[in-house]
Amino acid sequence: MIILDEPYVSQILRDNIVEMNLSVLKYAASERPGFSKEMTFLEDVEFIELFKSKNSSKIYGNSENSFAWIANNLGFTGIPEKIETSDYSFLF
C-alpha cells in the first residue's frame, strides 16, 4: 500500500509499484497523467478497509505531504502518533 504525493513520482517508483502490485491511494499525485493502467487505485474508504483487512502497519509513501491524510484517516492505527513524535511534528 502506498500514498503518492507531490512533488515528484519517478518512473522507477511507478515501475516498482506495478512490479510489487501495491495498492495506491487515489490522491492528488496519483491522478496525474502517465500512471500505468496496471496500478490498482483505491478511494479513501477502500484503502482504509484494505489496510484494516491486511492487519498491516506499513504504508509506503514518497513524500511527507501525505502525513495529513494519514492523521485524518488512520487515527485508529497509532501511526499518526508516531508521526507527531517524529521530526515532522511541525506539519501538524
54-89 residue pLDDT tens: 876 688 888 888 888 888 898 888 777 777 655 554
Domain, as residue range, for 20: 2-91
Rounded to two decimals, what is the model's pTM? 0.77
pLDDT band at 42 (very low <50, low <70, confident <90, very high): very high
Count of domains for the chain: 1
Instruction: Round to whole Å and give the CA distance between 59 and 51.
Output: 8
What's the full length of the chain, in residues? 92
Q: Is the pLDDT of residue 44 over 70?
A: yes
